[in-house]
Amino acid sequence: MMMTDRRDERDIPATVLVVEDEPRLARLVETLLTSIGHRVLTAADGQTAIDLAAAEPLDLIVLDLLLPGSVDGFTVCERVREFSAVPIIMLTARTLEAEKLRGFAVGADDYITKPFSARELLARVRAVLRRSQRSESSPGQIVVHDLVIDLASYSVSLGGKEINLTPTEYRLLLMLARHPDQVVTHAELLTEVWGPDYRDEIAYLRTYIRYLRQKLEPDASNPRYIKLRQGIGYYLSTEG
Ligand code: CA
């Protein structure tokens, strides 16, 4: 699990909260992340994790789903999302689709299934951090109809009313809004928003398109903004 070639993995140092009740695994994840320059905080239960997330400026949370006591990973995710848009990667021993979708629904950005390799962990962490760091660079606004995306503050409003999006929802919307009326393929969206390893994960994309529509569309079953080009991809319509 430990050894991997890390020579070309220069990352921008980030502060990562690792929430894991198995001490051996927590130490291993901590060692891996500190070895590539990140600062790591650890919590062995859900309540400590929520308290730390509220007290510390974090760049990422790696969150075990099954935690001792009454506060599990889903609850941590849900509570942290009440005050923070920090990226969250969930660790789960199971790969149930229903569990994944529940995690996304409460605001997780990605999943790693146990047991995982060092390489996989580092790749996912890097992908999630790059996504959030990349979306921090371009000022200005994108306006489509009454939809306004403010790139400096990452805020989205519709008809003057602010819409709360998770970081992944925001990036997906941004990708569509940068090329209004142009179909962006499933693979392009997955590669840009989630990373090259995800280009075939259509279920991720469908799930997030559904969340975006629920938040943006006056009638989610008859979308006005986010339209599907069957078998190809999605586009943001300026026709309305
Ligand atoms: Ca656990």
Cα(20) to centroid(ligand 1), Å: 6
The pLDDT value given to residue 134: 58
Cα(77) to centroid(ligand 1), Å: 15
Number of neighbouring beta carbons within 10 Å of residue 134: 11
pLDDT tens, 138-167? 457 787 778 888 877 888 998 889 999 988
User: What proportion of the chain, given as a percentage, has pLDDT over 70?
Assistant: 91
Cα(132) to centroid(ligand 1), Å: 26
C-alpha 222, offset from chain centre: 26
Cα(104) to centroid(ligand 1), Å: 19
> How sure is the predictor about 181, in pLDDT bands with cuts at 50, 70 and 90?
confident
Cα(66) to centroid(ligand 1), Å: 4
The pLDDT value given to residue 8: 43
Least trusted range by pLDDT, from 21-25, 49-53, 73-77, 167-171 = 167-171
State mean pLDDT over 64-71.
94
State mean pLDDT over 17-29.
96
Cα(119) to centroid(ligand 1), Å: 21
The pLDDT value given to residue 6: 44
Cα(21) to centroid(ligand 1), Å: 5
- Starting at the edge strand found earlier in the chain, the sheet holding 233-236 runs 184-185, 233-236, 226-229
- pLDDT, the chain, mean: 86
Cα(65) to centroid(ligand 1), Å: 6
Please, which residues have CB less than 5 A from ligand 1, an ion? 21, 64, 66
Cα(23) to centroid(ligand 1), Å: 10
Cα(115) to centroid(ligand 1), Å: 12
Cα(68) to centroid(ligand 1), Å: 7
The pLDDT value given to residue 4: 45
The pLDDT value given to residue 221: 86
Q: How far apart are CA 73 and CA 197, in angstroms?
A: 25
State mean pLDDT over 49-72.
94
Cα(52) to centroid(ligand 1), Å: 18
pLDDT tens, 75-125? 999 999 888 888 999 998 876 777 777 887 788 888 898 889 999 999 999
The pLDDT value given to residue 144: 78
Q: How far apart are CA 149 and CA 168, in angstroms?
A: 14
pLDDT of 225 higher than 60: yes
Cα(175) to centroid(ligand 1), Å: 35
Contacts of 134 (CB under 8 A, 6+ apart): none
State mean pLDDT over 5-34.
84
- 212, 226 Cβ separation under 8 angstroms: yes
Provide DSSP, 140-159.
SEEEETTEEEETTTTEEEET
Cα(153) to centroid(ligand 1), Å: 35
Cα(129) to centroid(ligand 1), Å: 23
